[in-house]
Amino acid sequence: MNWAFYPASGVTGRDSSGRLRAAKFVGRTTRMGVEQYQDYTLYINDDRDGRVGRKLSDIQLCADWQHEFPRAVDFTPFHVKGVRRDFIAGKTRDASGGSAHGVRGAGGEVTGGAASNEH
């Protein structure tokens, strides 16, 4: 399974209704939404597709997420564990909302889950 979602600087974050996301939920450098960025960092954290992963600890992932989204929330290892659980399961958003985590397709949609290890 390959990660297909590579946003460009011209991409603007939008919510499920098509409205622009609040700036605090749009990445400072990547322009990704919070969930997409979290999924991407978990994806590249492990060795995958012949590439050596970053192997960041959960605390380091928190710092990475905080740097990219300084005003979204104070990220903790508890957040990482929950995101990892949903990422592995390939959890899609249901009608009542909630989060969506997993491997992303070309349009940013969750296309499935993938392994993610705690380092």
Coil/strand/helix, residue 101? strand
67-83 core/surface letters (b: 16 or more CB in 10 A; e: else): ebbeebeebeeebbeeb
Secondary structure class of 51 (helix, strand, coil):
strand
Which residues sit opposite 91 in a β-bridge? 101
Q: List Cα–Cα distances, 71 to 6, 15, 29, 32, in angstroms.
A: 23, 17, 14, 15
What does the pLDDT profile of the chain (119 residues) look like in tens digits? 677 766 655 566 676 677 887 888 889 988 888 998 999 999 999 999 899 999 999 999 999 999 999 999 999 999 999 999 999 999 988 877 788 999 988 777 899 999 999 99
